[in-house]
Amino acid sequence: MPSNIKQWEKVKRTDFDLLIQNLRSKGFSPPYSDSGTLRSGARHGLHADVDFNEKEQALTVRIREAGRGETYASVFSMLETTIKATNR
């Protein structure tokens, strides 16, 4: 898998919904459906594609632009931390 794509398994609907809420509270603009674009404020420049497959309980994120001062790894680390916080 390319370094700009990451997939998480065993992500339930409730986990995904909480992830979206948490991202909004952090100033991100997540998609309003199960798939779409995730963006940060214009100042940071994150642009990623998000796809949640409820049946397979899988979340896939493809980063198009990591944003200023960020790397793919730092963005995925932030998402991983946020997902783990919702999956308790």
Write down the pLDDT at residue 45. Answer: 87
Write down the pLDDT at residue 82. Answer: 86
- For residue 4, which of 63, 50, 45 has the smallest C-alpha distance? 63
CA atoms within 13 A on the CB side of 30: 21
Write down the pLDDT at residue 60. Answer: 98
- For residue 4, which of 67, 51, 71, 56 has the smallest C-alpha distance? 71
Structure tokens at 53: 């497959």
Q: pLDDT tens, position by position, for the chain (88 residues)?
A: 689 999 999 999 999 999 999 999 988 999 999 999 999 876 678 999 999 999 999 999 999 999 888 999 999 999 999 888 876 5
Please report, for the chain, the start and end positions of each structural domain, with discontinuous segments joined by +.
5-86
Helix H or strand E encompassing 7: strand 5-9
CATH of domain 5-86: 3.30.310.200
Write down the pLDDT at residue 88. Answer: 56
